Chains A and B, each alone.
Chain A
């Protein structure tokens, strides 16, 4: 199985500041035939189901604020919230859909400092 490891497990950021979450996979998620990284990011607010933010590692889902961005390739990926808002308090998960079974990172909790 592909192991997804997120860091940090939690972080506290001041309103308006940048939040950065890392996700590392145990093998490359880059499919050479289409040059796509099979990596998505999800946001889960308390008591709610997860919501898709980013897919193909860097494509923002329709309706997601542009302060959310994804980057990286191969085995190392990053979700960046450029200016943290109160509405962004949540747990964030990365998920790979390259290998079987698809696997999630353990989650990163983002709070306001």
Chain B
């Protein structure tokens, strides 16, 4: 069974930074693209970023481009999201998700439980 465990969330002031981590198990991590998806309080789901299996190509939502950086370490079965210049509208639960293939034009087939990021002064 695939397990995705996020960490690194917390309370941060506007303009601050956080680094989210996700550790994967029960899968061959290096074979799958991975994505971050977020959900604001009482809101729907918003795709944030995707990194392909090899780690050489990344994609970002316009709302986070230039502020967030996705990366992965296939030797450590880990996914990361470096979040800089945080804004109140970035407040959300951030889910680590597994894409069902190595490329990003595929469905998400597994989700972590999420980590909460709150941006507030």
User: Interface residues, chain A, CB within 8 Å of chain B?
Assistant: 38, 40, 42, 44, 48-52, 55-56, 61, 93, 95, 97-98, 100-107
Contacts and interface: CB of A to CB of B under 8 A. Distances in A.
A98 B114 contact: no
Contacts of A105: 44
Query: Chain B, interface size: which category?
Result: 20 to 34
Nearest to A105: B44
Given A42-B108, A102-B50, A104-B46, 14 more contacts: A40-B107, A40-B108, A52-B107, A52-B109, A55-B107, A61-B109, A93-B44, A93-B45, A97-B104, A101-B47, A101-B62, A105-B44, A106-B44, A107-B45
B18 interface: no
Interface string B26-53: 0000000000000000001111001000
Nearest to A54: B107
B109 A49 contact: no
A61 B46 CA distance: 22
Interface of B: 44-47, 50, 59, 61-62, 95, 100, 104-114
B105 A97 contact: yes
Contacts of B110: 52
> Which secondary structure dominates chain A's binding surface?
loop
A65 to B, nearest CB: 17
Contacts of B45: 42, 44, 50, 93, 95, 104, 107
A104 B44 contact: yes
Nearest to A62: B109
Contact of A49 (B47, B100, B104, B114): B114
Contacts of B100: 55
